[in-house]
Amino acid sequence: TQLLEQSPQFLSIQEGENLTVYCNSSSVFSSLQWYRQEPGEGPVLLVTVVTGGEVKKLKRLTFQFGDARKDSSLHITAAQTGDTGLYLCAGAENYGQNFVFGPGTRLSVLP
């Protein structure tokens, strides 16, 4: 069974600051996804990365997939209060349909 670790577990920052959260595993993934989840709702997909070294940008969010496809990072520039939520990474092995989720990073952006 794959094990995905995410760090930090909790992060509280002021609006306007930059931050990076990490997703790490000893397993190689064929694809990796990042989700954001708000209280009382289901996770919403932000991005899927499939190629080692791939970098994807979504407005102020930058996602990177490690060269060895074992890790990923999410960088947020100039955080806004609307970025508050639980950030989950999920990896799939061997092009399988099922994703294993990490425990998440809970981000609070204060005004």
**Of residues 73 and 101, the one with the C-beta less far from another protein:** 101
14 binds another protein (CB under 8 A): no
Residue type, 20: T
Distances in Å between the Cα of 94 and the Cα atoms of 17, 32, 42, 91, 97 are: 37, 12, 26, 10, 9
Q: Which of residues 67-106 bind another protein (CB under 8 A)?
A: 88, 90, 95, 97-104
What is the C-alpha separation between 50 and 57, in angstroms, rounded?
A: 14
Residue 77, phi then psi, degrees to nearest 5: -95, 135
Cβ closer to another protein: 75 or 106? 106
Minimum distance from CB of 16 to another protein (Å)? 29
- Number of residues counted as binding another protein (CB under 8 A): 24
Nearest approach, Cβ of 47 to another protein (angstroms)? 9
Stretch in the footprint of another protein (CB under 8 A) among 13-21, 38-46, 57-65, 66-74: 38-46
CA dist list (Å): 10 to 28, 57, 86, 93? 25, 23, 9, 27
